Amino acid sequence: MSFDTLGLNPAITRALTDAGYTEPTDVQAAAIPPALEGRDLMVASSTGSGKTASFILPALQRILAARGDNAKRREKGVVYGPRVLVLAPTRELAMQVDKAAMTYGRHVQGLRSTTVVGGVPYGAQLKALRGPLDILIATPGRLLDHLTSGKAILENVEMLVLDEADRMLDMGFIDDIRTVVDHLPEGRQTVMYSATFVGHVGRLAQDLLREPQRIEIASHTDTHENIEQRLHWADNKSHKDALLDHLLTEKDMEQAVVFTSTQRDADWLADRLADMGHQVASLHGGMPQGRRTRVLQGLRNRQLKVLVATDVAARGIDVPTISHVINYGLPMKAEDYVHRIGRTGRAGRNGLAVTLAERMDVSMIRRIQHFTTQNIPVATISGLEPKQPEPRMFAPRGDAKFGGGKPFQGRPSHGKGGFGHNAGQGAGNGFGGGGFGGNQKPWQKPQQQRAGEGFAPRDRAPFDRDSAQHNRYSVDRPNDRHNSTFVPHGQQMPRGGAFDRAPVDRNAGGFAPRKAGPSKGGFNKPQRPRQGGFSR
């Protein structure tokens, strides 16, 4: 199949030929024909699959058709607003869509496309909204500002595109989207792109779309054949830094995107890599739009070799020369992992996605592997092998069968006949024997244990408050105020706990005055040591 067989305008196919595109991708071949017919669409496609062109090309076709319709011709000097509205979650993604619109519409005479995003001055946006406009690409928040002030006219929108709808809803834009949709005409065409259509995304699609056609090309559970994934376990932060330094000096590394969890980590790591001689810059949502644009332009021009970014860049970078994606800090959500690694392996190239994880990241690694239904292969680097054993990703189940052996090691099941000792006794509860007291419901309090039924009581030593083995938080430190030990009744409590007050003389009456401290009233807590942070 070629673009010529899709029924596109010759001006569009000519631009595709100039850009070097001869055959449509799977999502383009599936979504463009029904979009040209005016159908509402629900499209689920993986990142890097060419989904931007799958809605930009039908949008350009609609613009050209409207120009040839005398009933839809526009008079000069009258503000009509855009014919096509594209909502995107981030500024980077909006700019990427605008670039694609101008690339594929280079031979469309007089095409007007603009972006309305946050972080930039209002003046240029207001000027673009007052003039002739064909395509408007906007983030919901800034567009809502222009709607509130009456500067944005949306009564003539013929096609609405929700790009990365799941991401917009995760960012809390659902109310803004509904407000924007209220200003659109009823007979519009709506196309929604999302990684998933379950939960609140599916409910939004049900409210906005009319008899939509469902198109699912690739999901988050599909394997990325051209992206090699690796997982390196690090003993501590110093070990993780050493692994990162080694990866950034590999010979086959063209350009790399290093993802961090916070903006502060991104700035700190970029400064550290710059001191080591890397051509590096940071990118995150706390930067002004002008600087973010210059950073992305430097990455595309290959002036930068390393980009340190937060998840704000996980869905807005389309640079084919990115060969490495390194997860220095893990994402907050498992689905963001898929969009992160999708920054590499684009345009038919091969890529490498490396995750650097410490022991405290085990739960997130589990969630990522559960979300993708794939295990990330564990790898090591010669000379940088971890000294600690590889953490156990999943708790082992007991090797016993029903009625004997070790009890079940996972979350208790509330079904009938579970794992555990004496499964025949007390049948019907989650643990097989007396776990909830015979036929006791799981949500009820357990009944009193009777002799000879259920689990036998464990042999425990009597609790000794003065024993060091029961003091979990007691450590050897030079300052005794941080030691947490039990004291007999009537003696002074050790300092450094939740309260820091002088002993009370019960015979004198009243309360003794609180000792002066650095805090003003309330609690006087000691400084807690930071974990997992960094020092400049």
233 and 191 within one domain: no
Are 59 and 155 in a shared domain?
yes
Give percent of the chain above pLDDT 70: 70
In a domain, 384, yes or no: no
User: Per the structure, how many domains does the chain have?
Assistant: 3
Residues 50 and 191 in one domain: yes
Give exposure, 7-46, as e/b (b: 16+ Cβ within 10 Å).
ebbebbbebbeeeebeebbebbbbbbebbbeebbbbbbbb
Residues 362-387, mean pLDDT to the nearest whole number = 92
Q: Quick check: 285 pLDDT over 90?
A: no
Are residues 88 and 130 located together in one domain of the fold? yes
User: What would the mean pLDDT of 306-325 be, rounded to a whole number?
Assistant: 84
The predicted pLDDT at position 395 comes to 46
Burial of 501 (C-beta count, 10 Å sphere; 0-12/13-18/19+): middle
The residue among 372, 403, 421 that closes a domain is 372
With respect to residue 295, please indicate whether it lies within any of the assigned structural domains.
yes
Which among 339, 372, 405 is the end of a domain?
A: 372
> What CATH number is given to the structural domain containing 195?
3.40.50.300
Q: At what angle do helices 51-67 and 10-18 cross, to 10 degrees?
A: 140
Give the pLDDT of residue 445.
Answer: 45
Same domain for 358 and 250: yes
Asked if residue 320 belongs to a domain, the reply is: yes
SS (H, E, C) 267-299: HHHHHHHHHCCCCEEEECCCCCHHHHHHHHHHH
**pLDDT score of 47:** 63
- Position 30 in a domain: yes
Residue 136 and residue 19 share a domain:
yes
Same domain, 235 and 210: no
CA distance 480 to 475: 10
Specify whether 197 is located in the same domain as 322: no
Residue 441's SS3 state is coil
What pLDDT was estimated at residue 172? 85
**In terms of domains, do 289 and 420 share one?**
no
> Could you read off the pLDDT of 29-82 as tens digits, one per residue?
999 999 999 999 999 876 667 889 999 999 999 999 988 777 677 888 788 999
Span 262-269, average pLDDT: 94
Q: Model confidence over 425-462: pLDDT tens digits?
A: 444 443 334 444 444 444 444 444 444 444 444 444 44
Q: What average pLDDT does the segment 461-479 reach? A: 41
The answer to whether residues 304 and 172 belong to one domain is no
- Is there a single domain that holds both residue 196 and residue 245? no
User: What confidence score (pLDDT) does residue 256 get?
Assistant: 95
506 is a domain residue: no
Q: Is 502 helix (H, G, I), strand (E, B) or coil?
A: coil
Give the model's pLDDT for residue 411.
41
- The more confidently predicted of residues 166 and 486 is 166
Query: Which domain, by its residues, includes 430?
Result: 413-446
**What tens digit of pLDDT does each residue of 405-427 get?**
444 344 444 444 444 344 344 44
159 pLDDT exceeds 90? yes
Are residues 209 and 92 both part of a single domain? yes
Residue 73 lies in a domain: yes
Give the dihedral of Cα atoms 200, 202, 206, 210; nearest 10 deg.
140
Residue 108 in tokens: 């469309």
